[in-house]
């Protein structure tokens, strides 16, 4: 019997073979039915903090997005990311770093590490692999997919299936879920849908329903779910306050059983955004997490902003969190942004400035910084810093 590693290697080989076949074909029968796109990125980085050696790291990141239109109704999508890691972090934190990179939280393990040693980590993850069937007002998707129920830019308390980490800016596609999703569109701005992410039992599964409708020139949604060990009820809205966008989400999590460590939680987020005529975009957001901390940590680290096991029930470790961002283009070739996250009570601060340059239609570069501050016994101080230089070729 084939081992799981051999099976996954075979799957990846077949995907890459199909990609090469599609690119090589000039026959319109192929190009009409199959498509391929993706990118290759190289990102060196340097990180440094008080009391530690400077770390130099490198990442080569390749993504392949494959789509096959078998009929007008049936579509197959397979997408994977290949990553090569090398540098100080790899050499100094093995085997823990390699094991962390190779994690797959899906019901089916579609990730593996062909190379995992002190010099190099080679990781492949299939983060999309699903069939999509559409017929009139009905749409059914089955497999690893992204189910995005969030409305806000940053903190999505309605996003039960795919909570994501804003700090991980190099993963624009965001993670997917192994799930079955059924949508029925009742109008131009209204729909009902159900989604199921299976687990070994009900307490390891998500079964959720969502209703969308439009009223008073606002888009609303209501949801209810079995969310692992909780029952979840929530909703959200998106509309305008004069010329500014106004969005919000709220979700209440109620434990099905009175078990130590599993408590009720209420999370609510709202945001206001505005685009100026000169292309400048601003966004401000607020998050309330009833279970969040409202006091200073004894030994804060930059990991404080990652909220541990990130989920819709735990988007930030703080009770009150604030986000601000401004972005825009200086000219057709150059752009920039500045994002700031502040956690009240814990007194943690994250700053991420970025500047980007479009070299050509398919080549882009950007320079991004990440700066962490936190309150400790020595007062409010800088905890860690990182600088990333990224070059991307798209195909």
What would the pLDDT profile of 180-190 be if each residue is shown by its tens digit?
A: 999 999 999 99
Backbone angles phi, psi at 310, to 5 degrees: -65, 130
Separation between Cα atoms, residue 133 and residue 144, nearest integer Å = 14
- DSSP label at residue 314: B
Q: Please tell me whether residue 204 adopts helix, strand or coil conformation.
A: helix
Flag residues of the chain having pLDDT under 70.
1-31, 298-308
DSSP 87-140: EHHHHHSTTHHHHHHT---SSS--EEEEEESSS-EEEEEEEEEEEEEEETTEEE
E-state strands within 153-217: 177-187, 190-197, 206-215
The structure tokens listed for 144 are: 């690893």
pLDDT at 1: 37
Share of the chain above pLDDT 70, in %: 89
pLDDT, tens digit, for every residue of 300-351? 666 656 555 789 999 999 999 999 999 999 999 999 999 999 999 999 999 9
pLDDT at 11: 58
- Nearest CA among 286, 281, 272, 212 for reference residue 241: 272
């Amino acid at each position: 019997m084939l081992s799981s590693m051999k099976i996954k290697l075979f799957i990846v080989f077949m995907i890459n073979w199909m990609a090469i076949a599609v690119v090589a074909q000039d026959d319109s029968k192929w190009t009409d039915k199959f498509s391929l796109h993706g990118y290759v990125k190289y990102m060196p980085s340097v990180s440094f903090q008080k009391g530690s050696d400077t770390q130099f790291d490198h990442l080569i990141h390749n993504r392949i997005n494959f789509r096959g239109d078998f009929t007008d109704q049936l579509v197959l999508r397979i997408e994977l990311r290949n990553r090569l890691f090398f540098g100080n972090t790899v050499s100094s934190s093995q085997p823990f770093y390699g094991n962390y990179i190779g994690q797959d939280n899906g019901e089916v393990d579609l990730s593996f590490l062909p190379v995992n040693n002190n010099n190099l980590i080679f990781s492949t993850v299939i983060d999309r692999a699903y069939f999509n069937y559409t017929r009139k007002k009905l749409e059914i998707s089955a497999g690893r997919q992204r189910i995005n129920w969030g409305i806000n830019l940053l903190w999505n308390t309605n996003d039960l299936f795919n909570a994501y980490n804003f700090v991980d800016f190099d993963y624009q596609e965001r993670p997917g879920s192994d799930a079955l999703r059924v949508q029925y569109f009742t109008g131009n701005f209204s729909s009902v849908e159900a989604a199921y992410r299976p687990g070994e039992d009900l307490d390891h599964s998500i079964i959720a329903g969502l209703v969308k409708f439009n009223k008073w020139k606002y888009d609303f949604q209501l949801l209810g779910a079995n969310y692992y060990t909780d029952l979840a009820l929530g909703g959200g809205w998106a509309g305008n306050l004069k010329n500014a966008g106004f969005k919000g989400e709220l979700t209440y999590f109620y434990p099905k059983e009175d078990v130590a460590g599993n408590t009720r939680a209420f999370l609510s987020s709202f945001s206001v955004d505005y685009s100026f005529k000169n292309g400048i975009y601003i966004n401000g957001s607020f998050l309330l997490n009833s279970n969040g901390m409202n006091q200073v940590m004894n030994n804060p680290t930059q990991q404080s902003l990652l909220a541990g096991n990130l989920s819709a029930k735990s988007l930030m470790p703080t009770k009150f969190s604030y986000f601000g961002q401004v972005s825009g283009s200086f000219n057709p070739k150059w752009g920039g942004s500045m994002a700031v996250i502040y956690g009240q009570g814990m007194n943690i601060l994250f700053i991420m400035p970025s500047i980007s340059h479009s070299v050509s239609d398919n080549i882009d570069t950007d320079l991004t910084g990440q700066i962490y501050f936190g309150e400790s016994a020595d007062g409010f101080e800088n905890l860690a810093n990182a600088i990333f230089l990224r070059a991307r070729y798209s195909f």
